[in-house]
Amino acid sequence: MISKEALIGFIQMAIPGAQVTVFDKTGTLDHFGIQVVSDVFKGMTLLDRHRLIYQALSEPMRDGRIHAIEIKTKALNGD
């Protein structure tokens, strides 16, 4: 299990200033919906955006604290 606050911390370390919202999808603290809004995403493909999030969360995914995630990304003032 991992807390929402810890997930937000991992993402904000990789993407400083990102607006991160985390939802526990099942109540078990291992299936999450994550929404990230950041300037960093401007000009990036959806795949590259998701890769960036997966890299940020690689440690808790590797050790099993995250079982599944649904990712939504958005550039500030854009897509």
User: How many structural domains does the chain have?
Assistant: 1
Q: Phi-psi bin for 73: left (phi > 0), alpha (psi -120 to 50), beta?
A: beta
CB 52 within 8 A of CB 40: yes
Whether residue 56 is contained in a domain is answered as yes
pLDDT by residue, tens only, the chain of 79 residues:
899 999 999 999 999 999 999 999 998 888 999 999 999 999 999 999 999 999 999 999 999 999 999 999 999 876 6
The model carries a pTM of: 0.89
Q: Does residue 48 form part of some domain?
A: yes
Let me know if residue 23 belongs to a domain: yes
In a domain, 79, yes or no: no
Domain that residue 25 falls in: 4-74
CATH number at residue 51: 3.30.300.90
